[in-house]
Chain A
């Protein structure tokens, strides 16, 4: 499939269809300027508001570490498998070598790859959390994302049985070629083992969740939640528009549209996400 994002992912583009003068996702405007209403915030103000605009309710993107801080009880998060790094089996080189892009992403984000996994407690309930980070090469899924996610499933299965995933990804990482595609069945297999063993996956779709992640673990949650306004589709709007030459609906691929069509269980405001997850963990019997 032709893809047209500039972030290094398949099948998807990450732009938003709504008329969007300030440029959502920092594509045009300042990242702390609300694309919904144009209000501007200091970073610490946004952190305090869980990066939700107090004026209009727009949900700004959240990085992986900050996401875990928002959801986990203080000082309970214990990162696991942080030592894993991508190899470069194809010695991939486009305009720049893949290893250079990786090094730059690690320097820029302080993360070893596009997902952060570990043990945590949410309102006292023990669980694993796997949070993706769009800032690391567009949250693209290669071998490390697949492996960390799969290990999180296995650790969850051995220890309490609950995994919360928060996805934010443009899709598979094409610099890893066919091995990136193989992370789809790999994560699907890991979710299968978790669920067949009685464990639970709660999948939270954040903006954007597209391509390979939508076509694998993110769509397999026992419960699937989405953040308001999040683009959660298989193909991105630009690819669909180019392929079909039809006018897209204004809410194409958005969480609210996917809720209407029956693909997510609830659209949850970020302010309510933590308590919603705690309630689900309680219902599924996660250990306190």
Chain B
């Protein structure tokens, strides 16, 4: 991993070490985990480890958005519908209380059994889902609520109606809406960060990934079927485009990594939620006193600078 990424993690570690242990055991547990994470990241991620992360990110026992909502928010009130056409169940939105403050939360929602998967459309949203996200963010802006998004989707739904209802435009406008917000925003990729469907709700002041989440421009299978002309070469494709958290941090696409319980978030939902909540609260605390104009300016500047260039 790059020196910068390691430095970032060291900073966070130093910062945590300096924080008074208000939350007692939870924080020292995170400290310990961050230390372990640092050890792990110091060694370069192998191709097999990258593929292992892809499998873990898609593990159907992994906590989904609503599993976190019920563990980290109090007084959760879900908002339904895009106020235009329908309620897209692939994205949930609502308001709730986190550590004493009201936040708006938007997240992709997958399903565990056949019926739930159909209802949630495998976490693949229609434009209506992104419109629900946008109107929730507008509500948050009006009332000064921070916006939290949880990203977990194979991608935006590629369907006839989705196209007719303006899928591309909805994804573009959702990003534009996030870039205009004057309230603090934190996005966490909790599973699959699949392409346009993910970035639509991930243009935040702080973008984090869970340790075993992936974030990518295309699915490994999609990439393999195009470049290798064989979808079964997905592990090779994943190794080539490196969708794991350590590489995303190294490329400065994300701002931090949220540790998971030993073995992965699917092993212990409660422990995963504690760790997620700690990171979320820490970042929201840091952003709490930043003026709206500065939030907007810094957020745009961050995304404006994304990419790696050469010149002749």
**Chain A interface (Cβ within 8 Å of chain B)?**
1-6, 8-11, 83-87, 89-90, 92-95, 112, 142-144, 146-147, 150, 172, 174-186, 188-193, 211-212, 214-220, 232-235, 239-240, 243-244, 246, 248-249, 252-253, 257, 261-263
Q: Contact at A85–B309, with CB atoms within 8 Å? A: yes
Contact with A along B157-177 (1 / 0, CB 8 A): 111101111111101110110
Q: Pick the contact of A253: B163, B171, B197 (CB < 8 A).
A: B163
CB proximity to A under 8 Å, residues B280-308: 300, 303-308
Q: Given A183-B306, A191-B176, is A1 in contact with B218 using a C-beta cutoff of 8 Å?
A: yes
Q: Contact at A219–B169, with CB atoms within 8 Å? A: yes
Shortest distance from the beta carbon of A88 to any chain B beta carbon, whole Å: 8
Stretch at the interface among B60-68, B138-146, B221-229: B221-229
Contacts of A235 in B (CB 8 A): 156, 158-159, 162-163, 167
Residue of A nearest to B167 (CB): A234
A-B residue pairs, 7 tightest by C-beta? A235-B158, A143-B307, A214-B168, A182-B306, A234-B168, A94-B227, A1-B155
Q: Pick the contact of A150: B198, B218, B304 (CB < 8 A).
A: B304
Contacts of A185 in B (CB 8 A): 175, 179, 199, 203, 303, 306
Residue of A nearest to B253 (CB): A178
Q: Contact at A2–B231, with CB atoms within 8 Å? A: yes
Cα distance A83–B304 when bound, in Å? 19
A–B pairs, 27, beta carbons within 8 Å: A1-B155, A1-B218, A4-B226, A6-B226, A10-B218, A85-B309, A85-B310, A142-B307, A174-B218, A174-B226, A174-B241, A177-B216, A178-B248, A179-B251, A181-B198, A182-B199, A183-B306, A188-B175, A193-B300, A219-B168, A220-B176, A232-B168, A234-B171, A235-B163, A243-B158, A244-B160, A246-B160
Contact with A along B86-128 (1 / 0, CB 8 A): 0000000000000000000000000000000000000000000
Q: Contact at A1–B154, with CB atoms within 8 Å? A: yes
Contact with A along B203-240 (1 / 0, CB 8 A): 10000000000011111011101111101000011001
Q: Pick the contact of B172: A87, A219, A233 (CB < 8 A).
A: A219
Contacts of A239 in B (CB 8 A): 158
Cα distance A177–B118 when bound, in Å? 30
Of the four ranges (under 10, 10 to 19, 20 to 34, 35 or more), the interface on chain B belongs to 35 or more
Q: Contact at B225–A3, with CB atoms within 8 Å? A: yes
Cα distance A69–B241 when bound, in Å? 37
Cα distance A6–B225 when bound, in Å? 9
**Chain B interface (Cβ within 8 Å of chain A)?**
154-160, 162-169, 171-173, 175-176, 179-180, 194-200, 203, 215-219, 221-223, 225-229, 231, 236-237, 240-243, 247-248, 251, 253, 300, 303-312
Residue of B nearest to A235 (CB): B158
Cα distance A240–B236 when bound, in Å? 25
Chain B CB count within 10 A is highest, among A11, A176, A185, A243, for: A185
Contacts of B194 in A (CB 8 A): 1
Cα distance A109–B272 when bound, in Å? 51
Q: Contact at A215–B243, with CB atoms within 8 Å? A: no
Q: Contact at A188–B306, with CB atoms within 8 Å? A: no
Shortest distance from the beta carbon of B286 to any chain A beta carbon, whole Å: 21
Cα distance A4–B134 when bound, in Å? 31
Contacts of B223 in A (CB 8 A): 3, 174
Q: Contact at B195–A87, with CB atoms within 8 Å? A: no
Q: Pick the contact of A263: B169, B221, B243, B306 (CB < 8 A).
A: B169
Cα distance A185–B198 when bound, in Å? 11
